[in-house]
Amino acid sequence: MEENTEIVESLLENATEYAIKSYELVKLKVIDKTSDGVSSFIPHTVVIIVIGSFLFFVNLGVAFWLGELFGKIFYGFFAVAAIYAVIAFIIHFFMHKWLKRIFYDYIIRQIFK
């Protein structure tokens, strides 16, 4: 009987160690995925800011140029806004599912990488 007690105690001890190690492994995996996500987020954010600044100034230049062509500066801004409205319409009605699938697949690949 004493032998059975020792076996049960050993089994409980091993199960406890296994649970602790499993918890630590999960914790390390979460830390790894989080740090990977954050470390890739920062460079992407910097690139997006630089590209956004570039596009902003290009749009200003195009708006002023078109404004000179049309005779009044604000006409150029209306023309650029109209171009963006057409692009938004096309994306929303024709490319929405396609873009959603691309971003969905990218996020899944990053999670399971």
Residue-wise pLDDT tens digits, 70-102: 999 999 999 999 999 999 999 888 888 888 888
Q: How far is residue 39's CA from residue 44's CA, in Å, rounded to a whole number? A: 9
pLDDT at 9: 85
- Residue corresponding to tokens 């490319």: 95
Between CA 89 and CA 86, with CA 50 as vertex, the angle to 5 degrees is: 10
pLDDT surpasses 90 at 108: no
Q: How far is residue 37's CA from residue 105's CA, in Å, rounded to a whole number? A: 15
Higher pLDDT, 112 or 103: 103
Mean pLDDT of 21-45: 86
Average pLDDT value for the chain: 89
